[in-house]
Amino acid sequence: MPVVFDSRKIYYRSPFGAVEQGTKIHLRILIPKSEHAQKAELCVKYDYDYNWMFTKLLWCGNFDESTEIWECDFTPDRVGLYWYGFKLTCPHGIRYVVPSDAYKKSSIEDSPGRSWQITCYKKGFDTPKWPVGGIMYQIFPDRFYYSGIEKKIDRTDYQRNNDWYALPQWQPNEKGEITNSDFFMGDLKGITLKLDYLENLGVSCIYLNPVFEAYSNHRYDTGNYSKIDPILGTEEDFKILCAEAKKRGIHVINDGVFSHTGSDSIYFNRNGKYGDGGAYRDKNSPYYSWYKFNDWPNNYNSWWGFYTLPEVIETDPAFNEYINGKEGIIKKWMQCGNSGWRLDVADELPDEFMEKLRKSVKEENPEAFIVGEVWEDASNKESYGARRKFLLGEQLDSVMNYVFRNAILDFCRGQNARYTMDAIMSVIENYPRPVLRVLMNSLSTHDTERALTVIAGEPLNGRDRKWQSETHLSQEQRMTGIKLLKVAVAMQYTLPGFPCVYYGDEAGMEGYRDPFNRCCYPWGKENKELIEWHKQLGDLRKSCSALWDGEFFNVYAEDRRLSYIRHDDRTSLYCTFNLYDHEVVIDPPPGYSDATAVLGSRLENGKLYVPPLSPAFILIELA
């Protein structure tokens, strides 16, 4: 018996995936004759409406001796989400075609149940061209490279760590606080000195964790948005970094932390570092309206209860003008050479603020890139009681794709390939095509455990910092982990989107949570095999146009093996990943058996031989 409906197959729904406003969608269902359906209707509800819309399906003949074909068209005309299913009128009552499992296939039930999703995005929505086909590289500035150039630093309330290979400070002080006030002195000139290394990896974009003046080494407690932190260098150093990077075809984007500032900032100034001004010390401060005081000065809203991170009222006109205005922070740093912004905790920023930020960014440079931190499916994410509009054409260009990250790493840790493929397909189905081509696909970030630790180490399971500081991969774990990480990176580089390497992942860095995932890059102690693998994959991305914006086809996903094809009008790449502990021999899809095996893959007599814990690739040049 054929499937009644499958939203991920073009036979049932065309076109597949998110659609531009005004696009006609053709839908087809296959109804068992045993239902004796007298009428079939498409049931659609716009996300913000209470009422369902009904469209009759036409009977279009027999699929086979036991199945009928019913079809209709539907054209979403409003930007947003639509939810849909099918209603059958049968002699024995009303029946419903609904999603039956996590794979979006279907069953016929007596009650409506769940629905399928259509994402409809703004007509004309497009994203920057330059990230397409490229590679992003995330740098935590204090820990990447120290130029050796001493700087004039007025503050004395910090600890300088002279051992580059030491662990960051992880023990609390006498007050029981983790102050994040230890610095390894990595700087902007150090990044500039390593641009040749990044260019060699194929990097086309550097994402910098915060570089603005702040108290802490992570700098998410902004002290002054308009100044580079003196420990990192000067505004001129930033301009030079951007200019030298662009000579190599590398763009720079900054971390924008706009949901909160530091309490130790020119705006709030709790500790008096900035004189007598600031909202904490002066109700007449120009920054007072930025903050919500319940009882001035000590009772104020702060980010997740951290008193050192007072929350900003993003809709405050003065704050909006300061960040997004003609003379605002967004434009200032773009005029200094940056090519866009990563927005910290984007799901905590109001729509109004994000729309104004997008306008400011695109006015300065229509090709600038805006990527937001969202941990879940960003197409249907809800926060603060409302459906978010991140990807509909008026806010973000992209998001940090934690959905892919979790799917890939879980597959490497033993998850059945079916679940991994389902997570991948859910993103491809729900995200607009302009977003898909520039999705920020990371395996590690400053907020997660290192990928190598996740796939090869002992699970954290809530253990404390002392355990994390003392626990490292054994030699055997590391050897297995390197193999698995190569598989994970191969998926990261070949799935739709823009792979982002967290500094040092390519060199074999390991580590549990903050601060152990933020150790210094191991210059002189790198894993050369992993670095070479990243270079080879970078070269493949440059030469294989199918990886830039090609179609994605699910070929096989079962147990410990997963395969897919990326395809456009010039190239086609078959990708397969074997996580069994033995070699598998595969009959490639039609047309690939006499093509070119790449990246060390072995294709003999029409068979593809894939070693244990390994990927394999076959490339067809079409034009």
Q: Is 244 a catalytic residue?
A: no
Q: Which residue has the tokens 């902004």?
A: 222
36 φ/ψ sector (left φ>0, alpha ψ -120 to 50, else beta): left
Burial class (CB in 10 A: 0-12, 13-18, 19+), 326: exposed
Q: Is 373 a catalytic residue?
A: yes
How far apart are alpha carbons 289 and 387 in whole angstroms? 27
433 φ/ψ sector (left φ>0, alpha ψ -120 to 50, else beta): alpha
DSSP string covering 93-155:
EEEEEEE-STT--EEEESS----EEEEEE-TT----STTTT--EEEE-GGGT-----------
DSSP string covering 403-446:
HHHHHHHHHHTT--HHHHHHHHHHHHHHS-HHHHTT-EEES--T
What's the chain's Rg over C-alpha atoms?
Answer: 26
Run of H or E residues at 27: strand 25-32
**Nearest by Cα to 47 from 115, 123, 125, 126:** 115
What's the token pair of residue 5?
Answer: 């409906």
How far apart are alpha carbons 517 and 167 in whole angstroms? 10
How far apart are alpha carbons 144 and 518 in whole angstroms? 9
Looking at 373, 505, 506, 514, which residue is catalytic?
A: 373
3-state secondary structure of 366: coil
- According to the 3-state scheme, what is the secondary structure of 527-576? CHHHHHHHHHHHHHHHHCCHHHHCEEEEEEEECCEEEEEEECCCEEEEEE
Q: Are 138 and 502 in contact (CB under 8 A)?
A: yes
| Terminal CA-CA length for the chain | 40
Q: Which residue has the tokens 């189905």?
A: 429
Query: Please, what's the b/e burial string for 395-411 (b: 16 or more CB within 10 A of its CB; e: otherwise)?
Result: bbbbbbbbbbbbbbbbb
What's the token pair of residue 133?
Answer: 């086909």
How far apart are alpha carbons 302 and 270 in whole angstroms? 13
Looking at 142, 182, 264, 344, which residue is catalytic?
A: 344
How far apart are alpha carbons 381 and 365 in whole angstroms? 28
Q: How many CB atoms lie within 10 A of CB 513?
A: 17
Q: How many CB atoms lie within 10 A of CB 525?
A: 10
Catalytic residue numbers read: 344, 373
